[in-house]
Structure 1
Amino acid sequence: MTNEQATYRRVLRRETHSPRTAPAVAVAAVGAVVLLAGLAGGVWWLVDPAFRASAARWFDGASALAAQPAAAIAVGAVLVLLAVLLLALAVLPGRRSRRARIADRTALLVDDGVIADAVAAAVARRTGAERGRVSVTMGRRTVTVRIVPTSGVAVDPAAAESAVHDTLAEVGFSSATRVVVSTEGVVA
């Protein structure tokens, strides 16, 4: 792999995956608030005897609540769910709805909406359906085409499927195709 291709691969990966800054900033902000509150409470505990007495009463009530097994299980379950959520945000890849490929001297990054529009236009031309009655959904591995025909006008699903394959081949991306032709048409 050349240095240029390695650069393309790194840039395309950065553009097709979401950054993790928002969850990291949220966790850091909550952690900072909790630590500052603990620091303020500790200083207040040392300075004010009345606060010390009211905090002791509050801790007694909290410890009595924590002594109940149902409350401890509920708090533990919430903390485990929060930990699993944060771990998933850190580990799982956040994917954007974009497709990428590397050619000899270029890197191609295409939004799924652009590909879906091109596929819808090609299907409309090939089947004779109006463009507004063809909708395309791009998934990670499948392309779903929904066609609502004009009443009395037959639509060939095989022609629609070949239009999808041809359009995706022209762009250089492949995907499984699913064509759904509505059984009820619209009146023109």
Structure 2
Amino acid sequence: MTANTATTRRLLRRETRATRRGPAIAIALVLTALLLLLLAGAVGWTLDEGFRTQLRAWFAPVAAIAQPMPALLTAGAVLIALALLLLGAAVLPGRRARRTRLDVRAALVIDDGVLADAIADGVARRLGVPRGQTSVTVGRRTVLIRVTPTSGVPVDPDAAEDAAARVLDEAGFRLSPRVQVAREGVIA
């Protein structure tokens, strides 16, 4: 693994990025349908006088709305915002809910759900709380840990945060833990 780190890093990056194939195909199909509709309209406009009058009648209310300048500016701003959104979706990388870690001997790809379960198990074990009373949500840079204590058995929030930090350190991921201990416990 160490001799081929550039290839390994590229493979790990590929495993954490999502493909943009689905949105690209959907946008291409919608644009193709719109262009075919415009082509059919242009052919009908040039060949049929009745079609022209019917289109003028259909678009007369639209032309009346588009006469004032603020309506045109608003429509233009909306179209520009939509174009920027689509451009961002095409250019920016998608992110899968996975984390990677490169070690001397191995390259690891870990799903965020698996990491959340491991953190919940470790925190519950260290605090002495049943596993069902600990839930974890893994974000991009933070981990939110919710602990519901057993009724009558208090849980120290500092001890919970220390346990979460130790579990994350053992797992080898640099995430900042946030711990929320419920005020009311559950009956065991």
Structure-2-length-normalised TM-score: 0.88
Identity of aligned residues (%): 54
- Quote how far apart the aligned CAs of 1:78 are: 2.0
Q: Secondary structure at the match of 2:153?
A: coil
CA distance 1:127–1:59, shift in 2 (3 Å):
closer
Distance in 2 of aligned mates of 1:3 and 1:80: 47
**Which residues of 2 match residues 2-151 of structure 1 at below 5 A?**
4-58=4-58, 62-151=62-151
Q: Secondary structure at the match of 1:154?
A: coil
Q: Which runs of 4+ in 1 moved over 6 A?
A: none
Distance in 2 of aligned mates of 1:163 and 1:55: 70
Deviations along 1:150-183, one digit per CA (max 9) or x if unpaired, are: 1111223333223222322222212112222111
Query: Which shows bigger deviation, 73-82 or 127-136?
Result: 73-82
Query: Which shows bigger deviation, 3-12 or 137-146?
Result: 3-12
CA distance 1:34–1:3, shift in 2 (3 Å):
farther
Query: Which shows bigger deviation, 116-125 or 11-20?
Result: 11-20
- Quote how far apart the aligned CAs of 1:83 are: 1.5
Preserved CA contact (<8 Å) 2:2 2:104: no
Preserved CA contact (<8 Å) 1:124 1:131: yes
Distance in 2 of aligned mates of 1:105 and 1:111: 20
Distance in 2 of aligned mates of 1:185 and 1:178: 19
- Quote how far apart the aligned CAs of 1:77 are: 2.7
What is the identity, as a one-letter code, of the residue corresponding to 1:172? G
Partner of 1:174: 174
Deviations along 1:61-120, one digit per CA (max 9) or x if unpaired, are: 544432222431332232122112112212333222211021224211001111111111
Q: Secondary structure at the match of 2:95?
A: coil
What is the identity, as a one-letter code, of the residue corresponding to 1:52? R
Preserved CA contact (<8 Å) 2:2 2:105: no
CA distance 1:53–1:3, shift in 2 (3 Å):
farther
Count of aligned positions: 188
Preserved CA contact (<8 Å) 1:119 1:163: no
What is the identity, as a one-letter code, of the residue corresponding to 2:141? R
